[in-house]
Amino acid sequence: MKRVLFVCLGNICRSPSAEAVLKRTLAVRKLSSDVAVDSAGTCNHHIGEMADRRMQSAATKRGYDLESIARQAIAQDFKRFDLIVAMDRQNYRDLESIRPGSATAELKLFSDFLANNDPVDMPDPYYGGAHGFEQVLDILEEGCDALIGYLKTTSRP
């Protein structure tokens, strides 16, 4: 069993969507029992909230159910998960700043799983229009198979 944690800023747009897209992709590939998926945010502003309504609406249209409740990423996550995936480089830096010396999780950027690492930062849709939420889902759907392929190549110590 591998454990994957997606992390964005608020845990109400990008990372809960990443969680839902990966979970469904795993289900379609009959791999749900092999991988546990969770999400968290680097900031504490939205703790306890459901995903942003605009993100939920875009996700629902594609058949995803955003069920996660926002929480903040903590140092312990670096011991509980095998792979932590930051949505953008700021999230990555913020995670590095809480990474304990005893971390066992590997830290990667979501764009590590995209062709040509493009876009390197998953665009933050929070202050933009409806297109941004669709774009997040497009990028997530593009990268999920490569992420699953990567998990298959890594084995837990």
Which residues here bind ligand 4NP, judged by CB under 6 A?
8-14, 41, 45, 124, 126
Q: What single DSSP character describes residue 37?
A: E
Is position 62 annotated as part of the catalytic site? no
Q: Which is nearer to ligand 4NP, 140 or 147 (CB)?
A: 140
Q: Which is nearer to ligand 4NP, 108 or 123 (CB)?
A: 123
Phi, psi of 115 (to 5 degrees): -55, 130
Smallest separation, CB 73 to ligand 4NP (Å): 11
Pick the catalytic residue: 8, 13, 52, 77? Answer: 8
Residues β-bridged to residue 35? 2
Is position 144 annotated as part of the catalytic site? no
3-class DSSP assignment, residue 121? coil
CB 47 within 8 A of CB 86: no
**Catalytic residue numbers?**
8, 14, 124
